[in-house]
């Protein structure tokens, strides 16, 4: 760290009120960190401003302010490194992104478990956690050499799994775990970010009003960059947040196939409240019982929007998966997905699926416990809010 960086960090630690969110200062710090000057087209600035205002006035505590200031600098520095790669290798943006498969649905509806299983197909090219954090190429890396940033991320998450076993029960992570697209959406300064910002203002309101087409265009370019570095046959992607962007998703990837997971929304809502609280509690001052209605309404709105938009498109593009069916017969569910999209299941894929299921029984990392009442909700509220959804898909609500 430079003397300037050390002085700045010392100041932040000793005086949290000195953490500011001036856009030009943040950009200057990112330029210094990256050694570059070009963050690409200026359409990111509106989202950056909304995020900065949220981190400044949205109820983040001293720890949250410091972490989020650093996050904005890191995202901007990543943008600059990504833009440098595109400037030096314009051929990257000519790469095709053929027949991606995208998983979506309510959070905690089994999308992660299904994602991890589908990623075992040798033909699948999943987005991995470490590369979603470092999509830019590492200068001087030899062919076949392990990226040191990947190794550092793995060490970080190994320590996090040990220190926070409760979060591991909810969402096991490692450097090479297939990960949600939201981490690379964030580099566009749009999207749901870390799932915290959309629960705060003004970002929560700003996000709902956005035309997400520019974000999806940028997202495609990031996938092209990753594919240029580590090619694959067919991208496999996942995020509940895709429910907000079905139209731009299909416009950007005309041959995309969409797997939609469904589960009892009482269980989904309680689980995502618990997960969101685990992430927000260290960095915000929000009361636990105040969080539930905000979380419920955001994800109910995302589901309403996604299903309404889906209804305008060819139904053959979508396949529905029930969480309980997946728990009961995960290999059968995967076979149904491949049949629906008329995709063969080679022997190597079939064997890999079976091996993964055998090695990953339910609850392998511990059971996640949660209750709606902790978060200011009762079951009747959730049943009423999601009634059109549970009726449409005949989902049993206990």
pTM for the structure as a whole: 0.90
3-state secondary structure of 165: helix
| 305-347 pLDDT tens trace | 999 999 999 999 999 999 999 999 999 999 999 999 999 999 9
pLDDT of residue 3: 36
pLDDT of residue 172: 66
pLDDT of residue 327: 95
Are 86 and 93 in contact, with CB atoms under 8 Å apart?
Answer: yes
pLDDT of residue 13: 42
Which domains are present in the chain? 101-135+147-193+226-392 (3.40.50.300)
Alpha-carbon gap, residue 263 to 332, rounded angstroms? 17
Q: Residue 171: count other Cβ atoms within 10 Å of its Cβ.
A: 17
Alpha-carbon gap, residue 307 to 323, rounded angstroms? 18
pLDDT of residue 15: 54
- Cα–Cα separations (whole angstroms), residue 172 to 53, 160, 325, 327, 380: 31, 10, 22, 17, 31
Q: Residue 228: count other Cβ atoms within 10 Å of its Cβ.
A: 17
Backbone region of residue 195 per phi and psi (left: phi > 0; alpha: psi in -120 to 50; beta: other values): left
Question: Angle CA(182)–CA(185)–CA(189) in degrees, nearest 5?
Answer: 120
pLDDT < 50 stretches in the chain: 1-14, 365-366
Specify burial of residue 122 (Cβ count, 10 A radius: 0-12, 13-18, 19+).
Answer: exposed
Cis amide prior to 202 (ω within 30 degrees)? yes
pLDDT of residue 5: 40
pLDDT of residue 164: 65
pLDDT of residue 363: 56
Strands 257-262 and 101-105 turn out to be: parallel
| 272-316 pLDDT tens trace | 999 999 999 999 988 999 999 999 999 999 999 999 999 999 999
């Amino acid at each position: 760290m430079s003397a300037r960086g050390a002085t700045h960090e010392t100041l932040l630690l000793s005086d949290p009120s000195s953490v500011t969110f001036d856009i030009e200062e943040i950009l200057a710090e990112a330029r210094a960190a990256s050694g570059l000057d070009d963050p690409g087209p200026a359409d990111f600035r509106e989202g950056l401003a909304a995020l900065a205002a949220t981190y400044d006035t949205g109820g983040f505590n001293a720890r949250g302010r410091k972490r989020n200031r650093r996050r904005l600098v890191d995202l901007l520095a990543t943008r600059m490194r990504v833009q440098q790669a595109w400037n030096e290798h314009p051929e990257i943006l000519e790469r095709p992104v053929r027949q991606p498969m995208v998983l979506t649905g309510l959070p905690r509806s089994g999308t992660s478990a299904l994602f991890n299983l589908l990623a075992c197909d040798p033909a699948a090219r999943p987005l991995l956690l470490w590369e979603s954090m470092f999509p830019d190429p590492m200068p001087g890396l030899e062919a076949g050499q392990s990226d040191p940033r990947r190794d550092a991320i793995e060490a970080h998450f190994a320590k996090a799994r040990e220190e926070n076993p409760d979060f591991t029960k909810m969402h096991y992570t490692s450097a090479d775990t297939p990960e949600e697209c939201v981490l690379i959406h964030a580099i566009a300064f749009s999207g749901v970010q870390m799932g915290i910002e959309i629960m705060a203002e003004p970002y929560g309101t700003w996000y709902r009003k956005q035309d997400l087409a520019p974000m999806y265009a940028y997202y495609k370019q990031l996938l092209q960059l990753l594919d240029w570095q580590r090619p694959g046959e067919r991208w496999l992607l996942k995020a509940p947040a895709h429910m907000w962007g079905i139209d731009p998703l299909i416009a950007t990837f005309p041959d995309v196939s969409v797997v939609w997971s469904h589960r009892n929304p009482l269980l989904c809502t309680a689980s995502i409240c618990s997960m969101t609280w685990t992430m927000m509690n260290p960095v915000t001052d929000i009361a636990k019982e105040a969080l539930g209605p905000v979380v419920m309404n955001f994800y109910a709105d995302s589901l309403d929007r996604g299903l309404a938009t889906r209804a305008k498109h060819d139904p053959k593009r979508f396949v529905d998966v029930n969480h309980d069916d997946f728990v009961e017969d995960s290999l059968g569910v995967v076979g149904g997905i491949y049949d629906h999209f008329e995709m063969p299941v080679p022997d190597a894929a079939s064997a890999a699926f079976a091996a993964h299921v055998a090695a990953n029984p339910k609850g392998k990392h511990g059971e996640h416990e949660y209750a709606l009442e902790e978060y200011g909700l009762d079951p009747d509220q959730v049943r009423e809010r999601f009634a059109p959804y549970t009726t449409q898909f005949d989902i049993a609500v206990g």
